[in-house]
């Protein structure tokens, strides 16, 4: 929100992305922002999005690695405007807006316009719509009509549709996306990493996606509504099966503890 991309802001969208360079398959897992985990090395427990607030990308990545037995290689943090710019440059996306989503989306479009400074307009009806970047970000933020779990599914849908548009785009359009987005984001990936990916984008496809924790409950902890992995150990096993097809995976002693 408002262009902030390091500590001092909550990372309300967290996704783990695994790219299989052999098959070209990309797997996505949303980590629900309210998931109650250990967010710092000194043993502090909180919602996982607090790790980014406290220590930016370094603490956020470290917390995901420690709680989920991951070894994340790279990260990218996007603000609203970077996402909106990318989707608009790609020509927007087409998707079905339900009646309940339509009730809320125009107020979210207004808020997204005010935050990003980008122009857009309200939608006129539910059903199939062509969304520009601002409208797509607004759609990905909807949760008032259902749950944060459903919101993460909308986010993954937006990414999948944007990916398909990127695969149809010409080289100049993809270069325009890279040049527009990279200066706005915080990332460990440089333009020399991105350009070969963009050049070979037709080799890649988004396969399965899901949300973590897979098995969960909910609890109010310290006046915070939290998502509880049931159990962390079994969920981490399932995560490694999902991301890496590792059916023999045994969680670390740290995860078990």
pLDDT digits (tens, 9 = 90+) for 88-104: 999 999 999 999 999 99
What are the beta bridge partners of residue 19? 26
Confidence class of residue 146 from pLDDT cuts 50, 70 and 90? confident
DSSP 211-233: EE-SSEEEEEETTEEEEEETTHH
Cβ–Cβ under 8 Å, residues 38 and 44: yes
d(CA 257, CA 126): 48
Residue 80 clears pLDDT 80, i.e. is over it: yes
Q: What is the pLDDT of residue 47?
A: 97
Tell which residue, 58, 56, 38, 54, has the closest CA to residue 46.
38
Q: What is the pLDDT of residue 4?
A: 82
Residue 232 clears pLDDT 80, i.e. is over it: yes
Q: What confidence tens digit (pLDDT) does each residue in 42-57 have?
A: 999 999 999 999 999 9
> Using the 8-state DSSP alphabet, how is residue 98 labeled?
P
Global pTM value: 0.94
What are the beta bridge partners of residue 236? none
Confidence class of residue 85 from pLDDT cuts 50, 70 and 90? very high
- Tracing tokens 């990003």 back to the chain, one arrives at 116
> Using the 8-state DSSP alphabet, how is residue 236 labeled?
H
């Amino acid at each position: 929100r408002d262009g902030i991309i390091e500590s001092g802001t909550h990372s309300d969208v967290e996704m783990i992305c695994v790219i299989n360079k052999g098959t070209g398959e990309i797997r996505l897992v949303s980590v629900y922002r309210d998931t109650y985990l250990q967010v710092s090395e000194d043993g502090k427990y909180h919602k996982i999005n607090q790790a980014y607030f406290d220590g930016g990308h370094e603490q956020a990545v470290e917390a995901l690695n420690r709680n989920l037995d991951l070894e994340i290689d790279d990260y990218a943090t996007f603000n609203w405007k970077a996402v909106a710019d990318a989707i608009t440059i790609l020509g927007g996306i087409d998707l079905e807006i339900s009646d309940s989503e339509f009730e809320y989306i125009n107020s979210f479009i207004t808020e997204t316009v005010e935050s990003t400074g980008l122009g857009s307009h309200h939608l006129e009806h539910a059903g199939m719509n062509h969304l520009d970047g601002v409208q797509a970000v607004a759609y990905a933020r909807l949760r008032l009509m259902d749950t944060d779990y459903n919101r993460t599914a909308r986010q993954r849908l937006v990414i999948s549709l944007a990916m398909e548009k990127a695969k149809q785009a010409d080289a100049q359009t993809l270069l325009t996306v890279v040049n527009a987005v990279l200066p706005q984001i915080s990332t460990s990936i440089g333009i020399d990493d991105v350009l070969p990916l963009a050049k070979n984008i037709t080799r890649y496809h988004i396969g399965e996606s899901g949300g973590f924790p897979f098995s969960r409950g909910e609890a109010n902890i310290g006046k915070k509504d939290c998502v509880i992995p049931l159990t962390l150990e079994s969920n981490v096993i399932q995560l490694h099966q999902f991301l890496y097809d590792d059916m023999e995976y045994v969680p670390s002693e740290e995860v078990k503890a």
